[in-house]
Amino acid sequence: MSEAASPTLESNNKLSYDGDGFDLALLMLKNFLLTALTLGIYIPWARTNFRRYLWGHTGFQGDRAQYTGSGNELFSGYLKVGFLFLVVSIIVHVVNTFSPKFIAIGFSLLSPFLYIWLFSIVLYSGYRYRVSRTSWRHIRFGVLRNHDEAKTFMRLYIKGALLSALTLGFYYPFLRHNIIEFLTRKTRLGDSPFDYSGKAVEYRNIYFKGILLTFITFGIYGPWFFLELAQYRLAHTHFQQARLAISVPGKTLFGYSIGSMLLNMITLGLATPWMINWGLKILINNIRVEGSLDLTSIQNTSPQTQKTFGDSAVEAFDIDIGL
């Protein structure tokens, strides 16, 4: 570990990623082979290995992040998800087979609400697990955890999901922004909290502008759209007296998008590890901290015992929360 940094941040203020495409390719090959040989059982350990590599090659001020999650934890979560699917499948089968028709129809109408409720639990729990297993300079990240906060997030998500459906997607940017705002404000490094100052209306304007321009340009504007959302979110994410920023030219990300697509097509996907590594370097190496930090004032906190159901279920339900 490097020597302690000065309390204020004036230089060396960029995040860094120094992964190697060949090393990542070997890791992904190992994960693929062991997953195939174990008929999928190795997936939790494969995900853990992948995260440890990415976290371990991402640093700030000379010190790298650490991922302390384990494959055993995720495997336990997978078993819980599998049991949940089994129970739900049995309930659905029993209701459709033995219940009167009007009950089966009513149950079908209520099913979407059940899944929305379940997704709200999945998102909050999954995010908390990842964050609680991340540390920097042995200082743990964490997310505020209590039943009231969980209920607040559940109401926020259920309301947003229903309004998004009723408005044919027009409320979705508000839902996404509200999730970002809520989770960012509940996140901390040690005992120092993060904050978020974005406005839902501003986020909505960027979102719909990006959707429209991406559609008009047949997808060409996509990289600029992605960058605008990232720039807005980071510029409004605060920690102590500092905030985050990213400066990547849109043409650079566009070149990456075209290059990675062509190389993966030509190599039949074999270039994927190098493309992942390339993309991470473009993004992470251009994120910086603007302002001052008092790093010596941060006190560590007790480790969180976080259940892994949500983290596994996020993948099982194929939910991309972009967090």
pLDDT in tens, 254-275: 999 999 999 999 999 999 999 9
Question: If pLDDT is split at 50, 70 and 90, which confidence band does 304 have?
Answer: low
Residue 250 has pLDDT above 60, yes or no: yes
Residue 65 has pLDDT above 80, yes or no: yes
Q: Which residue has the higher pLDDT, 119 or 101?
A: 119
Q: What is the pLDDT of residue 149?
A: 84
Q: What is the pLDDT of residue 4?
A: 42
**What DSSP state is assigned to residue 62?**
T
Residue 315 has pLDDT above 70, yes or no: no
Angle at 251 between CA 247 and CA 256, to 5 degrees: 95
How large is the average pLDDT for residues 47-74?
93
Q: Which residue has the higher pLDDT, 27 or 75?
A: 27
Residue 141 has pLDDT above 60, yes or no: yes
Alpha-carbon span 313 to 119, nearest angstrom = 9
Alpha-carbon span 157 to 10, nearest angstrom = 39
Question: If pLDDT is split at 50, 70 and 90, which confidence band does 125 have?
Answer: confident
Q: What is the 3-state secondary structure (H, E, C) of 184-230?
A: HHCEEECCEEEEECCCHHHHHHHHHHHHHHHHHCCCCCHHHHHHHHH
Which of 111-115, 127-131, 143-147 has maximum average pLDDT? 127-131
Q: What is the pLDDT of residue 3?
A: 43
Question: If pLDDT is split at 50, 70 and 90, which confidence band does 207 have?
Answer: very high
Choice among 44-58, 136-150, 261-275, 286-300 with the minimum mean pLDDT: 136-150
How high is the mean pLDDT of the chain?
Answer: 86
Question: In degrees rounded to 5, what are phi and psi of residue 292?
Answer: -115, 145
> Which pTM value belongs to this model?
0.84
Residue 90 has pLDDT above 80, yes or no: yes
Q: What is the pLDDT of residue 318?
A: 40
Q: What is the pLDDT of residue 150?
A: 83
Amino acid symbol at 320 = D
- Helices (H), strands (E): how many in the chain? 11, 10
- Percent of the chain past pLDDT 70, that is, above it, reads 89
Question: If pLDDT is split at 50, 70 and 90, which confidence band does 2 have?
Answer: very low
Q: Which residue has the higher pLDDT, 154 or 125?
A: 154
Residue among 306, 256, 316 nearest 286 (CA): 256
Q: What is the pLDDT of residue 320?
A: 43
Residue 160 has pLDDT above 90, yes or no: yes
Q: What is the pLDDT of residue 10?
A: 43
CA distances from 114 to 88, 129, 144, 154, 269 (A): 11, 23, 25, 12, 37
How large is the average pLDDT for residues 103-114?
73
Q: What is the pLDDT of residue 32?
A: 96
Provide the token pair at 8.
Answer: 């204020």
Choice among 8-22, 254-268, 279-293 with the minimum mean pLDDT: 8-22
Q: Which long-range CB contacts under 8 A does 273-281 form with residues at least 24 apart?
A: 273/21, 273/22, 273/24, 273/25, 273/27, 273/28, 274/21, 274/22, 274/24, 274/25, 276/24, 277/19, 277/20, 277/21, 277/24, 278/21, 280/17, 280/19, 280/54, 281/17, 281/19
- Percent of the chain past pLDDT 90, that is, above it, reads 63
Q: What is the pLDDT of residue 306?
A: 56
Q: What is the pLDDT of residue 307?
A: 58
Tell the residue number behind the tokens 């997310």, with chain if given: 143
Q: What is the pLDDT of residue 100?
A: 72
